[in-house]
Structure 1
Amino acid sequence: MRRLGTGIGWRPEIADAVERMPGIDWVEVVAENVCPGHLPPSLLRLRERGVTVVPHGVSLGLGGADRPDEGRLTALAERAEALGSPLVTEHIAFVRAGGALTASPRLEAGHLLPVPRSRDALDVLCENVRIAQDALPVPLALENIAALFSWPGEELTEGEFLSELVERTGVRLLIDVANLHTNHVNRGEDPAGALAALPLEAIAYVHVAGGFERDGVWHDSHAHPVPRPVLDILTSLAARAEPPGVLLERDENFPAPAELERELDTIREAVTVGRAAGSTAGGTTGAPAVGGARTGGVGVLARPVAAPPADVRERVGVAQTAVLSSLVAGTPVPEGFDRVRMGVQARALAAKRAGVVAKVAPELPVILGAGYREAFLEYARQRPMRGGYRLDALDFAGHLLKLGRPDGAGARRELRDWWLDRSGPAPRKRGLVERVLRRRV
């Protein structure tokens, strides 16, 4: 199977521009944002032209204490088959905690959170990965994530953790060089050391993205140009082994298409420079093309993965629940964690909730006007997310209505009508959403 080449993250806001961009070999789409039976016409046209489409999941939570949800695995498999994808990708992260395993309320993070690099967490992750591999029709690759905080008492470095994960499961790796830079700034981790420890033969492809620094903290925003330090890490990686694919991620604040094309050219140049440096030093190797066995297809013989004892999952679950509860429910920060960084993470999670809810329910910022964000952040401090973002939008609107808000009978009536319209099995008032959104223009 051919190598992936150079790609870009497909987003509805730039769909037309992506179709017109020269030199795009493949695209990646957020798996949860597409429906197998109703694929966007833009993706269908790209596929007809021979452009590879890879689904990138964000909600499995393979690093969580629970076993992977069968429904989520089935949904990811359906997307891979509908898109004719050579592989699917997810993250080394947990996104929810609590529930039956810990006899505590179920909590949703709404974002990717780092797992502790401990033996317990690795045992749980390895079994979860093998469960996912058995359920998916194509190879699975996992991404290293960016983190704002560290777990105390970690037993492994990132490179050691990833290497053992690959050795035990045969899973492939999606290396995000922007996340290596984020963890360098936020956690003092050496990206060169992480690259040196990685099993290069396991790399499926590479993510490149931008961010920004504020008060000594790097935020992996996917909304800013790719900075030089990230490109330098990409060059260092390419000097060790040319990646089968490299992809530019951009999720918002989209620049003009010409600017995106210039960023792609810069990324290609960084890989070329690395390849030349590696060839001169005799160090560049060709990573394998995408494809092969469902366990990864990278020539790695995975060891049998024994199920960890129940008390291991329980220990991991209790620890993750305590962390997530402190971030989204206001409970005390667990001992050993940096309270300042945990506060930064808590605010980042609330801000992300506000932003995503505004996207999935764009009528709410229109109805509430300039007070939307402040009202949502106040709500988020009191109410952890209990499901997906669409349910969060309904919960937020219902919360305001119970408080007799917003001020003004007209806005309150409009919010009530919207809540009734969205919470019922079918729309009550034809054209309600369209009328609300028309006020934006």
Structure 2
Amino acid sequence: VAENVCPGHLPHSLLRLRERGVTVVPHGVSLGLGGADRPDAGRLTALAERAEALGSPLVTEHIAFVRAGGELTASPRLEAGHLLPVPRTRDALDVLCENVRIAQDALPVPLALENIAALFSWPGEELTEGQFLSELVERTGVRLLIDVANLHTNHVNRGEDPAEALAALPVEAIAYVHVAGGFERDGVWHDSHAHPVPRPVLDILTGLATRVAPPGVLLERDENFPEPAELVRELAAIREAVAIGRARGRAAERTAVRGAGGAGAGGVGVLARPVAGVRERLGVAQTAVLSALVAGTPVPEGFDRVRMGVQARALAAKRAGVVAKVAPELPVILGAGYREAFLEYARRRPMRGGYRQDALDFAGHLLKLGRPQDARARRDLREWWLDRSGPAPRKRGLLGRVLRRRGGRSH
């Protein structure tokens, strides 16, 4: 993840991979190219610096919005902390195309964009995913990072046919491919990156490979790592899925009628339109959606309230998990009550400045309420908040001291 890398202090693991000839690609998650605002110049500069520091042949981002509000809509700025789907409308496509061109001009290497997994759909969409991606490529020349696991997620959650999306893709634009695992709960597929790759995802990969030899396939596994032998089996299954698809593709090519011409999605010929007013309309719509998800305001008309509730809970759970990683002292201090307390806090309080600020805001909120009730825990929390709320931590080893005071136990 690009935002987790400091160009001047590359992790030793990445340096070792580069020494072994492994290509390292910065994978951005915070540009929000599908948002109503123009891309932030500082974020683009940071992404460019990471590409240069890693000697990367390209950088990747997502077709998503991650924030809304602000000056464009004269409303408070809201951060999602996660990738949210853009409406597949002409307006949203116009804004996305202009944002992509701005990003391409600022980056030193080619840009590839990933299709995301979504838990909800926008009402009144005008294009399928395949049409949306195809026209995006035609109008900008951007490359694609196709995540076949996300196609499966959208099949389960939104009823979209992965084969239809694959058929419309401009395969010549594919930079590489992602596969990942997930799990289903109450009829909703969650793209976890922490579970084995299921057979339906491998089947979609095979379907893609019948049309094109993927330049590369990357297995996304962010946590809950299996034993090496299990990982080897999973990688072998991915290779086999590609090999089966390539064999089928070659067989189809041998039997195809020569000179029939391709059916591709090219030739749309859509001209760029002025997007000034379009940005405002899109901004208002995205702000209403994000406010419903992170601030408890009413769900906009036309959206599935159940799915919006699932998305809101997923965003809060992700916040809780990431805050626990960037501020590991908090789960130790609060013990088993950490998660419940954080979800209660997050229900109507959006992030206002990233996860570290979120951790500080959460701790400050609890202290204002006189919580936790245990005096020692409250003292530890106050000490942590005072230590972290300044420009730099005043003390080192706070987590170790808290653990020692609590007998070395972490919840």
Give the alignment's TM-score, normalised by structure 1.
0.86
Matches of 1:282 and 1:189, distance apart in 2: 25
Partners of 1:102 and 1:235 in 2: CA distance: 44
Shift in Å, 1:238: 0.4
Q: Report deviation, 1:79.
A: 0.4
Shift of 1:289: 25
Decide whether aligned partners of structure 1 residues 411 and 99 sit closer, same or farther in structure 2, where only a CA change above 3 A counts: same
Which protein has greater RCO, CA pairs closer than 8 Å, 6+ apart?
A: 1
Counterpart CA distance in 2 for 1:192 and 1:420 is 54
1:372–1:88 distance in 2 versus 1, CA, 3 Å:
same
Alpha carbons of structure 1 residues 292 and 180: separation in structure 2 relative to 1, 3 Å: closer
- Cα gap change, 1:347/1:338 in structure 2, threshold over 3 Å: closer, same or farther? same
Partner deviation per Cα, 1:7-61 (whole Å, 9 max, x = no partner):
xxxxxxxxxxxxxxxxxxxxxxx10111001111111011111111011000000
* Contact preservation (8 Å) 1:55, 1:85: yes
**Partner of residue 288, structure 1:** 258
1:157 to 101, 122, 128: 128
Q: Of the candidates 169, 193, 211, which is equivalent to residue 222 of structure 1?
A: 193
Pair 1:48 & 2:19 matched: yes
Post-superposition CA distance 1:106-144 (Å, at most 9, x none): 000000000000000000000000000000000000000
1:430 is displaced (CA, Å) by: 3.4
More off after superposition, 210-219 vs 369-378: 210-219
Query: Aligned partners of 1:288 and 1:391: how far apart in 2?
Result: 61
Give the Cα separation in 1 of the matches to 2:261 and 2:393: 44
Q: Does 1:119 align with 2:96?
A: no
Q: CA deviation at 1:285?
A: 14
Change (3 A) 1:122 1:341: same
Q: Which moved more, 1:288-297 or 1:74-83?
A: 288-297
In structure 2, the residue matched to 1:186 is 157
Q: Measure the CA separation in 2 of the matches of 1:113 and 1:103.
A: 21
Taking structure 1 as reference, are residues 228 and 306 closer, same or farther at Cα in structure 2, changes over 3 Å only? Answer: same
Contact 1:63 1:125 in 2 (8 A): yes
Whether the aligned pair in 2 keeps the contact of 1:209 and 1:250 (CA below 8 Å) is yes
Q: Per the alignment, do residues 436 and 66 of structure 1 end up closer, same or farther by CA in structure 2, a change over 3 Å counting?
A: same
* Contact map agreement 1:65 1:314 (CA 8 A) in 2: yes
**Cα 1:421–1:288, aligned 2, differ >3 Å: closer, same or farther?**
farther
CA distance in 2, matches of 1:67, 1:288: 46
Q: Which residue pairs with 2:290 in the alignment?
A: 324
1:409 deviates by 1.5
d(CA) in 2 for partners of 1:226 and 1:290? 37
- The 1:300/1:205 distance shift into structure 2, 3 A limit, reads farther
User: Quick one: distance in 2 between partners of 1:84 and 1:392?
Assistant: 33
1:56 partner SS: coil
Unaligned runs of 5+ in 2: 407-411
SS of the residue corresponding to residue 206 of structure 2 reads: helix
Please report how far the alpha carbon of residue 299 of structure 1 lies from its aligned counterpart in structure 2 after TM superposition: 16
Q: State the alpha-carbon separation in 2 of the partners of residues 403 and 305 from structure 1.
A: 46
Q: Give yes or no for contact 1:73–1:135 (8 Å, CA) kept in 2.
A: yes
Matched, 1:363 2:333: no
% identity of equivalent residues? 90
- How far 1:346 moved relative to its partner? 0.5
Show CA shifts across 1:185-231 (max 9, x none): 11110000000000010000000000111111111111110000000
Give the secondary-structure state (helix, strand or coil) at the position aligned to 2:29: coil
Q: How far apart are residue 306 of structure 1 and its match?
A: 10
Deviations 1:372-394 (A, max 9, x none): 00000000012111121111111
Greater mean alpha carbon deviation, residues 298-307 or residues 347-356: 298-307
Q: In structure 2, how many angstroms separate the alpha carbons of the residues matched to 1:290 and 1:301? A: 29
- Counterparts in 2 of 1:237 and 1:105: CA distance versus 1, 3 Å: same
Task: Write the deviation string for residues 318-368 of structure 1: whole angstroms up to 9, x where unpaired.
Answer: 000000000001111000000000000000000110011111111100000
Give yes or no for contact 2:18–2:24 (8 Å, CA) kept in 1. yes
- The CA distance in 2 between the partners of 1:171 and 1:290, in whole Å, is 28
> Aligned pair in 2 of structure 1 residues 105, 55: CA closer, same or farther (>3 Å)?
same
Instruction: Verify the 8 A CA contact 2:170 2:264 in the aligned structure 1.
Output: no
Aligned equivalent of 1:258, options 204, 210, 229: 229
Change (3 A) 1:287 1:59: farther
Q: RMSD of the alignment, in Å?
A: 4.4
- Secondary structure of the residue aligned to 2:68 is strand
Judging changes above 3 Å, is the alpha-carbon distance between structure 1 residues 113 and 284 closer, same or farther for their aligned structure 2 residues?
farther
Question: Any conservation in 2 of the 1:62–1:128 contact (CA below 8 Å)?
Answer: yes
Q: Residue 168 of structure 1 contacts residue 303 of structure 1 at CA under 8 Å; is this kept in 2?
A: no
- Residues 322 and 204 of structure 1: is their aligned pair in 2 closer, same or farther, counting only changes over 3 Å? same
Cα 1:50–1:402, aligned 2, differ >3 Å: closer, same or farther?
same
Alpha-carbon distance change, 88 to 433 in structure 1, aligned in 2, over 3 angstroms? same
Distance 1:99 1:302, change over 3 A: closer
SS at match of 1:382: coil
| Partner SS, residue 282 of structure 1 | helix
Secondary structure in structure 2 of the residue aligned to 1:154 = coil
Cα gap change, 1:286/1:318 in structure 2, threshold over 3 Å: closer, same or farther?
Answer: farther
